[in-house]
Homo-oligomer: A and B are copies of this chain.
Amino acid sequence: MALDHVRALVFDVFGTVVDWRSGVIREAGPFLERHGRKGAAPSAFADAWRRLYEPSMENIRSGRRPFLPLDLLHRENLETILPDFGVDRALVPEAELSDLNHVWHRLDPWPDVIDGLTRLKRRHIIAPLSNGNIRLMIDMAKRAGLPWDAILGAEVARAYKPSPEVYRRTAGVLAMDPGDICLVAAHNGDLAAARAEGFKTAFVARRTEHGPEQTTDLEPSGDWDLVAEDFRALAGRLGG
């Protein structure tokens, strides 16, 4: 099979490994209530925050800003959306804002993830290839029990996906040909970018990443090297 030579599996994380939307909703609800915004929808808050994710990284990909870790972009984006939800930044204690910003460190994995990764780790190097920074990925892994062999991704590569440098530098530190590495992602766009750099590709659908009304990435849109229902099925297919 096309994946026989693969020795490292690298994973998109937000959406593919963890359910970011439910995690943000869980903490945004009490935050909004504390600030007198009981009527505001925590799901809208989560979606608004996440909507600024791509544009904030694009400022760095394009060279308009130097590389900055995602925690810092998340913080800027959080401060940007607060007024839209009727929260006065000046009235939120710094410690509380900082704590809410770290909700991205406290996201839960999808139910199949720990078992799947544990099995996949037996025969492969497994690592996140996320835009999340190193400390974010460490905290998330320790809290959730994600058994990564290493933390790779944007901060190691000093570039954000889907910039080609991310894939090239990741293959560099793994000392592997790109074709010996497989990206696992729930996003067709992520897989297309990885394939363009020679990585193998595995699609795992996460049909509620964006909530019950999700319309994107419900199915594979490319002829990816592997399509699996979840991480357990992925481990079954890869002999883990």
Q: Tell me how far the C-beta of A101 lies from the nearest C-beta in chain B, rounded to whole angstroms.
A: 11
- Whether B142 lies near A149 (C-beta < 8 A) is yes
- Whether A138 lies near B155 (C-beta < 8 A) is no
Q: Which residue of B125, B141, B155 contacts A173 across the interface (Cβ within 8 Å)?
A: B155
Residues of B within 8 A of A71 (CB): 175
Residues of B within 8 A of A138 (CB): 125, 149-150, 174
1/0 contact trace for A142-158 toward B, CB 8 Å? 10000011111001100
A16 CB–B CB distance under 8 Å: no
With an 8 Å Cβ cutoff, the count of chain A residues facing the other chain is 21
Q: Tell me how far the C-beta of A121 lies from the nearest C-beta in chain B, rounded to whole angstroms.
A: 8
Residues of B within 8 A of A149 (CB): 138, 141-142, 151
A134 CB–B CB distance under 8 Å: yes
| Chain B CB within 10 A, most for which of A71, A138, A148 | A138
Distance between Cα atoms of A155 and B141 in the complex (Å) = 21
Residues of B within 8 A of A130 (CB): none
| Copies of chain A in the complex | 2
Residues of B within 8 A of A152 (CB): 134
CB-nearest residue of chain B to A173: B134
Known contacts A150-B151, A175-B71; decide if A142 and B125 are in contact (CB<8 Å).
yes
1/0 contact trace for A126-143 toward B, CB 8 Å? 000000011101100110
CB-nearest residue of chain B to A142: B149
Residues of B within 8 A of A175 (CB): 69, 71, 133, 135
Known contacts A149-B141, A149-B142, A151-B151; decide if A174 and B125 are in contact (CB<8 Å).
no
Within residues 4 to 42 of chain A, which ones have a CB less than 8 A from any CB in chain B? none
Interface residues, chain A, with chain B CB atoms under 8 Å away: 69, 71, 125, 133-135, 137-138, 141-142, 148-152, 155-156, 173-176
Would you list the 7 A-B pairs with minimal beta carbon distance, nearest first? A150-B151, A134-B173, A135-B175, A138-B150, A138-B149, A135-B174, A125-B138
With A134-B150, A150-B150, A151-B151 known, 20 other A-B pairs at CB within 8 A are: A69-B175, A71-B175, A125-B142, A133-B175, A134-B152, A134-B156, A134-B173, A135-B173, A135-B174, A135-B175, A135-B176, A138-B149, A138-B150, A138-B174, A141-B149, A148-B150, A149-B151, A150-B151, A155-B173, A156-B156
